[in-house]
Amino acid sequence: MRTFKGLKRALFLTLALTLILSISAPALAYPLVPVSVHVDIVYYPGGDVYVYDQYGNRTDTRDFVNGTRITLRAVPRYGYEFVGWYDYNSGEQVGYESEYSLTLYTYDIALQARFEELDYPPQPITPITPPYPPVTPDPHPPIYPGVRPPGIAVLIGGRYVQYDVPPITEASRTLVPFRLTLEALNATVGWDDATQTVTATRGQIVVRLTVGENYAYVNGNAVALDVPARIVSDRTLVPLRFMAENLGFNADWNPQTQTITITQIAAIH
């Protein structure tokens, strides 16, 4: 009786082992996925190919662990352009951009980078390095008047004078801040704070006038003023026409545009 039970148990184990083998056997008929993948890169002349690992580091290895993501970068040389990435065995194009990324879930692969020579190679750019070539200044640069100030405007040498205190009109005479005006007329400017006297020198001409006085001095000669100089908002204002004409300039008034244009009569020596 014990012998029969032992035979029965042995028969059951045999049948179970046979069933396990019969179920597992078909799986063994499929090839195993390789642990590593070899990437073979072939490329035409006219460019270089660089390989970067999953961390973005350039590498020279061609063997990777299966499941690794790599990036291939094709760089054409001068006179060539990149065409595309191709499967070397089938000839099928698999990538169109010069930078091609793929995950290695396969067996060994062979990729080809193709480059094509340009019909008209671009001209190389020659960089300019210091010292830079000198720039020849324009002997007759254009004159831009600038922004016209509101109210009465003064135009000297084709440019508007930008005053921080605007011109004023008194007894049909225009008074303007002396320093900006006289410097625009290329005059040397002087100011005596003790006597509140303005001095303007241009060539051999010296004009001197004092705030509040009804006369000025031109090369030492007294000349009557229609309107005296005065101080407004901490600025000394002088009669524009008197100063311009005695320093060798014309002063033209345009009532429509409220503009005084100062032009030089002749060079002063």
Q: What contacts 21, CB < 8 A, 6 or more positions away?
A: none
Lowest pLDDT segment from 2-11, 43-52, 176-185: 2-11
**pLDDT greater than 70 at residue 4:** no
pLDDT for the residue numbered 57: 84
- Alpha-carbon span 158 to 263, nearest angstrom: 9
Lowest pLDDT segment from 5-9, 25-29, 99-103, 110-114: 25-29
Mean pLDDT of the chain: 79
* pLDDT single digits (tens) 160-212: 999 999 999 999 999 999 999 999 998 999 999 999 999 999 989 999 999 99
* pLDDT single digits (tens) 130-153: 565 565 666 666 666 778 889 999
Q: Specify burial of residue 111 (Cβ count, 10 A radius: 0-12, 13-18, 19+).
A: buried
**Quick one: how many helices (H) and strands (E) in the chain?**
3, 22
Which CATH fold would you assign to the domain 153-264? Answer: Copper Amine Oxidase; Chain A, domain 1 (3.30.457)
Q: Is 40 helix (H, G, I), strand (E, B) or coil?
A: strand
Token digits of residue 108:
């060994």
- Alpha-carbon span 240 to 198, nearest angstrom: 13
pLDDT band at 126; cut points 50, 70, 90? low
Q: End-to-end CA distance of the chain, in Å?
A: 148
Model pTM score: 0.48
CB 111 within 8 A of CB 39: yes
**pLDDT greater than 60 at residue 21:** no
Domains of the chain, by residue range, sit at: 36-117, 153-264
